[in-house]
Amino acid sequence: MPELPEVETVRRGLLPVMEGQVIISALVNRPDLRWPLPENMAKRLTQVKVNALRRRSKYILADLSSGETLIIHLGMSGRILISGQGVGHFHHAHPAPAKHDHVVFDLENGARITFNDARRFGHMDLADTDRLDDHWLIAPLGPEPLGNAFHEEYLFTKIKDRKSPIKSVLLDQRVVSGLGNIYVCEVLYRAGISPKRKAANISENRLAKLVPIIRDVLQEAIAAGGSSLRDYRQADGQLGYFQHAFRVYDREGAPCPTPNCDGDILRIVQSGRSSFYCPKCQR
């Protein structure tokens, strides 16, 4: 599933094409994705202006002139692609409609924004902008890891008594929003912390070091355009390439990249998800 860097990369790709533009027409080709789509969605999105394009956790938020915000989640296989506009060094003509093009926006500048989702694990909703923080998808979310509300004291206070493994705690979107399996594995490797270690058993000093490491990993991944595994593409159709910088994720059996460490990367399963780590340098 796309994590914060992938969603932020898509948002940045859409920004110069979509923000400030009027949606001339909206086509909704099915009544549901993961959940039912909003009632009269196409009508509510037609002839409205996209005032701002934001991100909250793994959601893209399009604030509209109608007073509503479109909430977009890519799910496992969702893609948002641009056609009819130059994106970077590329110009993409409108392609023929594809089987899994579920929602399509035509903008006043000639661009077309297409949401394609083969497995339909993505979803969209409309909510009043001034009450967005109360929406059931947004309300439970913890602070943004790149924002000022996420800091060493907050993290220590939030998880000092948690008996769960630190890997599970960092994946809890109520603790910190936007982190997923890939980046938590990479963060814990850089911090030298085993994904199996109980959060309550980690010293305050070691927990404090997690905050800048989390920010570094996310910022590096955003700069690389995210990680392309299976379905993810940027808004211009190009692949992200942070996967080439993975130090532990998906590297089972490979030598640990830490200098002078003779360990090999292991894979274990925690709560149904793969964790990759070096048992010698991560304690």
Q: Please tell me which residue in 56, 58, 112, 190 is annotated as part of the active site.
A: 58
- The yes-or-no answer on residue 220 being catalytic is no
Q: Please tell me which residue in 34, 196, 198, 273 is annotated as part of the active site.
A: 273
Give helix 152-159 / helix 204-223 axis angle, nearest 10°: 120
Give helix 4-18 / helix 204-223 axis angle, nearest 10°: 40
- The yes-or-no answer on residue 58 being catalytic is yes
- The yes-or-no answer on residue 31 being catalytic is no
- The yes-or-no answer on residue 279 being catalytic is no
Distance in angstroms (rounded) separating the CA atoms of residues 103 and 110 = 16
Q: Please tell me which residue in 3, 6, 68, 186 is annotated as part of the active site.
A: 3
Which residue from 208, 191, 179 is spatially nearest to 247, judged by alpha carbons?
Answer: 191
The DSSP secondary structure of the chain, one letter per residue, reads: ---HHHHHHHHHHHHHHHTT-EEEEEEE-SSBSSSBPPTTHHHHHTTEEEEEEEEETTEEEEEETTSEEEEEE-TTTEEEEEESSEETTEE-PPPPPPTTEEEEEEETTS-EEEEEESS---EEEEEEGGGGGGSTTTTT----TTSTT--HHHHHHHHTT--SBHHHHHH-TTTSSS--HHHHHHHHHHHT--TTSBGGGS-HHHHHHHHHHHHHHHHHHHHTT----TT---TTSPPP-GGGG-SSTT-TTSBP-STT---B-EEEEETTEEEEE-TTT--
Catalytic residue list: 2-3, 58, 273
